[in-house]
Structure 1
Amino acid sequence: MSIPPIEILGFIAAGLTTISFAPQAWMVWKRRSADGVSLGMYSLFVTGIGCWLVYGFYIRSWPLFLANVVTFVLSGFILAMKLRFG
């Protein structure tokens, strides 16, 4: 089975945009502080990512679905740390 080039591009884009949350998550965890994190922005973002996750699953777009699973976990972690650490 061959993966179409556009799907490969989708996986690359998904990987890059998803991993971009890792440094923020690490910084919040390491410092035990989420002072620079906007509660409103992350609340809306996590909700939106949840919607994208369901949408990606529904249309069977694996790059979209998998990227949003990871992004949901990372951004949800940041949101949880914001709620915990303030």
Structure 2
Amino acid sequence: MLGTPTLCPKINITSDSFIQIFVSVVGVIGSLGYYPQAWRIFKNKSAHDVSLSTYAIFAFVTTTWLLYGFYENSWVIISSFALGVAGSWLVTILTLYYRRQKGL
């Protein structure tokens, strides 16, 4: 073989690098999904319709994956889950806070 195949020879991005970058970007975009829910809770000062158990599970899972990313020293996993950890915990904490404020 003549070398590693590249998608763009001028900047030398290998297919593995492209996949890692793509997966990282998709992970970050997916992690942004927690923030509209957090904003809605904050704006309405209510978490009445939020499933606390669902977001607690999300918080546990994203935190576990982030820790695993650090263990494996994988920037793909770390970058994909860092925002998700913050977002899932934010929704969980806001839900607990506003439910206590309302006495639920």
TM-score range, shorter chain: 0.7 to 0.9
Greater relative contact order, per chain length (Cα 8 Å cut-off, separation 6+)? 1
Unaligned residue ranges in structure 1 (runs of 5+): none
CA RMSD of aligned residues (A): 1.7
Identity %: 29
Which structure's CA Rg is the greater one? 2
Larger proportion of strand:
2
So what's the TM-score if we normalise by structure 1? 0.88
Alpha-carbon deviations, 1:3-62, whole Å to 9, x = none? 610111112211210111121111111111111111111111111111001011111221
Runs of 4+ displaced beyond 6 Å: none
Alignment size in residue pairs: 86
Unaligned residue ranges in structure 2 (runs of 5+): 1-11, 100-104
1:70 aligns with 2:83: yes
So what's the TM-score if we normalise by structure 2? 0.74
